[in-house]
Amino acid sequence: MASKKRARNPHDKHRLSGRRLREWGYGYVFILPWAVGISVFFLYACARSIQYALSDVRLTNGLSITYQGFANFVNIFTTDNTFPVALMSFATGLILRVPIIVAFALIMALLLNSKIRARALFRVVFFLPVIIATGPVMDELTRQGVASVPMVNQATIGALLGTLPQWIGEPIQELFSSLILILWYSGVQILIFIAGLQKVPKDVYEAARIDGASAWESFWKVTLPTVKPMILLNAVYTIVALATSGQNEIITMIYDNMFNSAVRRGYGYAAAMAWAYALVVSAALAVAFLLLRDKSDRKVVYEQRRIVMKGGYYNDGKQ
């Protein structure tokens, strides 16, 4: 009995054609400027920063670099009384602020994506702080008390949070004192959510409504799965925006230790602080990715591989 001829798997490796090599070559040419730029302006700077963090750097008769291992990293956590507390306060602040900003942006995007009058005007109003709220403007608004909610009694909140550790109570009190300022960070996130919401076909909502789904059920079963990749994107954007904000006291602390003669401890000490801070931000980004990543694509790939291993080819699972 003649053996049944097996269909060729479309995922088999093929010999690279000349056209495919040319396409790859065009792609590498386009990314070449970026690769050169990141090598010269980023990787080299990172290497020098690591060298400074592991050394005692002095500006006496030129640049003097004396290797001393991890002494700077040990000092910022053992002899410095302010940096570890500021680092913990920043991490706690991220836990509080990022969900608030992302949730507020999603709610505003749902409202601005609905059929309301002057919808374009409201979108401009919510995005306007992103343009005008630069560092000096933010500092002046904070000094004038514009960033806080008027009906919130800061003294009462401070008394209630006085029993908590400083690295927990301080971020919570700062959250209430600058709540409006925090919500101003949601302009870009609102636009990203609106772009994701506009990708949902109207037919899907119509089909859900015909099946008897309420607006609440449509949100959980249709809207939220569609914008889930945007939630991860907005969480990452928010973490980076808060980490590089002009109101971030850790950045000011690093700058002072590098340039301010009153508290300056040297380039090496400041570089070690910067790398410790970068590790905390990287850990926050990793946690956000693990919690918010979309696992549906991985399930699809796993199912495809299972079918290939079982039948040797794709034919709706039949042989």
pLDDT band for 312, please (50, 70, 90 cuts). very low
Asked if the model's pLDDT at residue 277 lies above 90, the reply is yes
Taking residues 226-247, what's their average pLDDT? 88
pTM over cut 0.75:
no
pLDDT band for 300, please (50, 70, 90 cuts). very low
**Residue with token string 């945007």:** 230
CATH architecture, domain 79-296: Orthogonal Bundle (1.10)
Residue of higher predicted confidence among 22 and 119: 22
Residue of higher predicted confidence among 185 and 263: 185
178-203 pLDDT per residue, tens: 677 777 778 888 888 988 888 888 88
Half-sphere exposure of 200 (CA within 13 A, CB side): 24
Q: Six-digit token pair at 258?
A: 């590098």
Asked if the model's pLDDT at residue 314 lies above 50, the reply is no
Give the domain ranges of the chain: 19-72, 79-296
61-94 pLDDT per residue, tens: 777 788 888 888 888 888 888 888 888 888 888 8
pLDDT band for 301, please (50, 70, 90 cuts). very low
